[in-house]
Amino acid sequence: MKKVRLIVQMIFFLVLAIVVFQVLGEQDTQQPDGVDYTLILPADRYPETLKHIREAIAEGESAVCTIDREGAEENRKESLKGIPTKKGYDRDEWPMAMCAEGGTGADVEYVPFADNRGAGSWIGNQLEQFPNGSRILFQLP
């Protein structure tokens, strides 16, 4: 009798685990309307850059980036216009220059160059698989 009870309990917990993992997996693949992919930024790796992104979004900048690589050079020129360089720092833009939402009016903050370039490289590697026009939701932990 004990063996039967133990087997029933094991089957119950196995089925419960399968259901939970299926539900969690479905939630991970669902995207908000108009978004192709959600990118969760690594909070502990690039704290200064992520702090800037978080603040810019809180102030009303878009959390969604529509990839527009061809427009990046012009967007960067417009967003950084009139903002002088500063030794040891990058002028970090949000939305990024490679986003259609970037350019004139982007939020610009001085961020230590190692932090900013590390974040830029990480984000670039994550987005290289997506074609222009892809809409990426940036999610901060």
Which tens digit of pLDDT belongs to each residue from 34-85?
A: 899 999 999 889 999 999 999 999 999 999 999 999 999 999 999 999 999 9
96 within some domain: yes
Full-model pTM:
0.75
Which tens digit of pLDDT belongs to each residue from 2-40?
A: 776 666 565 654 555 564 455 444 444 566 778 999 999
Token code pair at residue 114:
């190692």
Range of the domain at 132: 37-139
6 within some domain: no
Specify whether the CB–CB gap between 91 and 108 falls below 8 A.
yes
17 within some domain: no
Angle between helical axes of 113-127 and 47-58 (0-180°, round to 10): 70
| Overall domain count for the chain | 1
12 within some domain: no
